[in-house]
Amino acid sequence: MSASVGVFDSGVGGLSVLAALRDALPGVPLHYIADSANAPYGERSREFITERSLALTQHLRDQGAALVVVACNTATAAAADALRCQHPDLPIVGIEPGIKPAAAASRNGRVGVLATTATVNSARFQALIERHAAGAQITAVACSGVVKHIEEGDLDSPALRELVARYCAPLKLAGVDTALLGCTHYPFIRTLWQAELGPGVQLLQIEEAVALQAARLWSTPLRAAAPAPIRLATTGEPAVLERLAREGLGWEGFALERCTV
């Protein structure tokens, strides 16, 4: 069994991280699990998220993962410490809103964060603001319901646009010039966020930085330069995962399966 990078998310959103990992580690097999049967994590308890994160990480490790990427802001906030405690010998890369680069990029010191309820309410997120806001005014909005639309394959309905408008309103009122997409699902509707916030607001994502950190920690010898296999699995229905991989990322030739973790 070839060593792989294991990746999990509450659903399909982590495909945005997987794409960045493919660019950073083209010779490394990737194994992705979308826990779509239990999405969205943003509405779940910390205990539930931690339990699922531990189970998914163990499954990925049993399947040959030599490094695990938690491609979910909510799961990182809730479970990263527990995962590192359970697997002290396994490199684990989390993902979290990039408060520090956003504060540095803002011209007027007003930064918006669009994230799940669990992320916004987490102690980890509040600690990020305290450590890295550097005096910037942070307006964080919990975007309940957005992930559900994306998980259902809805990327442009009137109902979704209404949610986007509602959640962008506080950022516009605060006069932000920089906004963080604090959930890996949100880049799939980046055009909706941008259209609502306007061209004067720069949108930031964190996927590339996560992939580069994974590449730094990867210690297993690389395969040949040719692209290595990609294995996609889901605990829910595979149709949306397959559609986003094919149409959103332009991928072909990946393995697709149901997962019973």
Q: Tell me the binding residues for substrate.
A: 9-10, 41-42, 73-74, 184-185
Cross-strand partners of 142: 115
| Residues assigned a catalytic role | 72, 183
Annotated binding-site ranges: 9-10, 41-42, 73-74, 184-185
- Stretch (H or E) spanning 13: none
Q: How far is CA 181 from CA 50, 152, 208, in A?
A: 22, 19, 13
Q: What is the largest CA-CA distance in the chain?
A: 53
d(CA 82, CA 261): 18
Identity of the amino acid at 136: A
d(CA 43, CA 11): 13
d(CA 139, CA 173): 10
d(CA 54, CA 86): 8
Tokens 């809805």 sit at which residue?
A: 154
DSSP string, 82-132: HHHHH-TTS-EE-----HHHHHHH-SSSEEEEEE-HHHHT-HHHHHHHHHH
**From the centroid of its chain, how far is CA 239?**
20
